[in-house]
Copies of this chain bind each other. A is one copy, B any other.
Amino acid sequence: MTIPLSAAPETVRGPAEHDVRTQIIEAATAHFSHYGYDKTTVSDLAKAIGFSKAYIYKFFPSKQAIGEVICANCLSQIEADVHQALSATAAPPEKLQVLFTVIVESSLRLFLQDRRLYEIAVAAATDQWPSAQAYQARIRKQVEDILKEGRASGEFETVSDLQMTSHAVYQVLAPYLNPVTLPHLKALHAEHPQALQQLVLRSLAPQR
């Protein structure tokens, strides 16, 4: 398990401590997934892992700092799924379809499969933790890059403002990136899983 650079870099206190950090994160992930994030204190966690509270604080300044790393790990799994699927895709319209499909499927799987870790994802999205903000910014950039590529290749229209249109496409996708909003849209998505992406692709098609 690697610690993404996006996860609260001020909590990283040197590579020599990497193994202990990993050990704490793995134990905390298991502990939170059994007992929940909201109700667990750093004292509970210390007891469960068999470390002193002071020792844990040497590596992580707060419970949120631990949650941040777990959250960043979860989000980087979604992004790994996205990148893997995109690497097998060349045409920008197909890339956009893949982005929509994988984001939704992977988010449903990772956010909703484990109700206890779900609490961490909810805290991250609600309080806009740095890991959640960085994730959203990267997906937003991904959308813009695909739009640029499609405009350059003539597969997307070039009449509308790029910034505005990128924003709009990201705004359509955004509710499916967020563990709080996702459950409220799950049933609607399941009715016609391709409907949104087809609407977006028709919107981006050049006028003939």
Contact = CB atoms under 8 A, between A and B. Distances in A.
Interface of A: 125-126, 157, 160, 164-165, 167-172, 174-175, 178, 180-181, 184-185, 188-189, 191-192, 195-196, 198-200, 202-203, 207-208
Number of identical monomers bound together in the oligomeric complex: 2
The 10 A-B residue pairs whose C-beta atoms are closest, nearest first, are A203-B203, A168-B199, A168-B195, A181-B181, A175-B175, A202-B203, A199-B203, A167-B195, A167-B192, A181-B184
Given A199-B169, A203-B202, A203-B203, A175 B181 contact: yes
Contacts of A208: 207-208
A107 B189 CA distance: 22
Contacts of A207: 207-208
Contact of A175 (B157, B185, B191): B185
B164 A195 contact: yes
Given A181-B181, A208-B207, A196 B174 contact: no
B181 A168 contact: no
Contacts of A175: 175, 181, 184-185
Given A168-B199, A198-B160, A203-B199, A185 B181 contact: yes
Contacts of A191: 167
B198 A185 contact: no
